[in-house]
Amino acid sequence: MTPDAVVLAAPAIPAAGAVAIALLGARPNLREAATLASAAALFLAVLSLLGPVLDGARPGAVLMEILPGVALAFRVEPLGMLFALVASGLWIVNSVYSIGYMRGNGESHQTRFYVCFALALASTMGIAFSANLLTLFIFYEALTLITYPLVTHHGDYEARRGGRTYLGVLLGTSILLLLPAIAVTWAVAGTLDFVPGGILGRGMSNSAIGGLLALYVFGIGKAALMPFHRWLPAAMVAPTPVSALLHAVAVVKAGVFSVVKVIVYVFGIEEIAGLKSVDWLPFVSGFTIIAASIVALRSDNLKRRLAYSTVSQLSYVVLSVSLLAPLSVMGAALHIVAHAVSKITLFFAAGAIYTASHKTEVSQLDGIGLRMPWTMGAFTVGALSLIGVPPAVGFVSKWFIFQGAAATGQYLVMTVLGASALLNAAYFLPIVYAAFFRTPPQDAGHGEAPLPMVLALLATAALTVGLFFYPDIPLALARQLAGS
């Protein structure tokens, strides 16, 4: 297949996988095989695009013209390539984990679960490879809607309530802010294509550009910038595999990915660098980093703590792209990868703990590291990575963000980064300490979670460390993004 055809195959493979999963609903083993097969096929397809993209090619495809001059179109650029690689690669691991989790916990509606999961990945691929704002917007909304059944999977009161918040915030921001932002962009620029260097030109006053940026960064609610972050903790009512892949990787990364993409390809870094009207963004994202960390510190529920940690880490990406320097844009791209592999490890561990011991609160975890050494070992790796300790990939991205801040002389930002590293340590390390060094309570003994889950979390932990030593591919893509 030519790279252009592979681009179309990327959303099509999981969509076809969803059909196969639905048809095989009555035979669980075959159904799970279909999930794994489509995950593997998707990863291979995305991987085959890597070579051409690294060589500077931008494969793409145009499907149909939705509005005059705006088509449903795909084009692979470095950032999208990176995002698609991360999402599709982790889907394989997550599928192995899901099988262990869903069976281990005897969840209902498993066919619906896997179908929606595959469709969510299809939407994610659409977002990653979108060639213009409209295509991005279509798949962005599709991702919100298709993950709703996953969030409300349990169907009880809690799930309904969480689902309402989830949908209310995400649809509310995208309809109220993002859609007008896109319409204004169209009215000003006459195009919605992503073009290196931006498309706005000289059609807007400086203050209007600041306003438009606000519409975008708050309108992309999936980036969870405060005050539009509430949907993310609400989404934690979902089964853990959903929280792991979707609410630590695909959905939230789709948010920050869109923010980076809009700033780089719609506004243009050089076009808006130094504008007074856009210098508020580092403060808003810096505030979110600190405030969310403090909330995380005070949460006893493990998944909730992880969710607020995600809110905080997402703002790292927004903060670093908002510095509008090449190094910090690289840092933003790298942090998308770094946070993805680290946070999915942490969620995998949380789910493994729940499956093995039905514990959900941090205060219940005394001594659990002795019973689940592999799980808590992986948890420790993920935690250290998010704090920014080498040898874990989190160090690499934070290094670049720090360099970007130093290069632009943003001392306040450097302070925020330092404070946040301390806060991260403050809410992660006590868990590690309690797990390994406190005496376990004398309740019913349990061992590790089912094997597929342990394998999955070890794989992502290994990836977290491995990417520290071999960051070549993400680095090359990030460099292309910053250089373009």
- List the structure tokens of 280: 């508020």
CB 475 to other proteins: min, Å: 34
**Would you say 278 and 210 are in contact if contact means Cβ atoms under 8 Å apart?**
yes
CA 447 to chain CA centroid, nearest Å = 30
By rule CB under 8 A, what string of x and - marks binding of each residue 20-59 to other proteins?
A: ----------------------------------------
The span from the CA of 245 to the CA of 348, in Å, is: 9
| 418 binds other proteins per the rule CB under 8 A | no
Cβ proximity to other proteins: between 152 and 460 the closer is: 152
The verdict on 208 binding other proteins (CB under 8 A) reads no
The distance of Cα 197 from the centroid of its chain, to the nearest Å, equals 25
Q: In sequence order, what DSSP letters do the residues of 221-282 get, joined into one string? A: GGG--TTS-THHHHGGGS-HHIIIIIIIIIHHHHHHHHHHHIIIIII-HHHHTT-GGGTTHH
**Residues 7-32: b if buried by 16+ CB within 10 A, e if exposed:** bbbbbbbbbbbbebbeebeeeeeebb
Of the ranges 5-13, 134-142, 246-254, 449-457, which one interacts with other proteins (CB under 8 A)? 134-142
Q: Which stretch binds other proteins (CB under 8 A): 1-9, 144-152, 446-454, 475-483?
A: 144-152
Measure the CA–CA gap between 168 and 458, rounded to whole angstroms.
36
Among 2, 26, 29, 187, binds other proteins (CB under 8 A): 187
Could you say which of 62, 159, 214, 275 contacts other proteins (CB under 8 A)? 159
Rule CB under 8 A: say whether 163 interacts with other proteins. yes
Q: What are phi and psi of 61, to 5 degrees?
A: -155, 145
Of 149, 210, 282, 351, the one binding other proteins (CB under 8 A) is: 149
Question: By CB under 8 A, is residue 72 in contact with other proteins?
Answer: yes
Could you say whether residue 268 binds other proteins (CB under 8 A)?
no
In angstroms, the CA 280 to CA 343 distance is 28
Rule CB under 8 A: say whether 142 interacts with other proteins: yes
CB 252 within 8 A of CB 224: yes
Q: Which of the ranges 148-156, 263-271, 348-356, 439-447 carries the binding residues for other proteins, by CB under 8 A?
A: 148-156
Could you tell me if 111 and 197 are in contact, meaning their C-beta atoms sit under 8 angstroms apart? no
Complex with other proteins: residue 201 or 483, whichever CB lies closer: 201
Residue 425 within binding range of other proteins, rule CB under 8 A: no
Q: Closest separation between CB of residue 61 and other proteins, Å?
A: 15
**Binding interface with other proteins (CB under 8 A):** 64-68, 72, 134, 137-138, 141-142, 145, 149, 152, 155, 159-160, 163-164, 167-168, 171-172, 175-176, 179-180, 183-184, 186-187
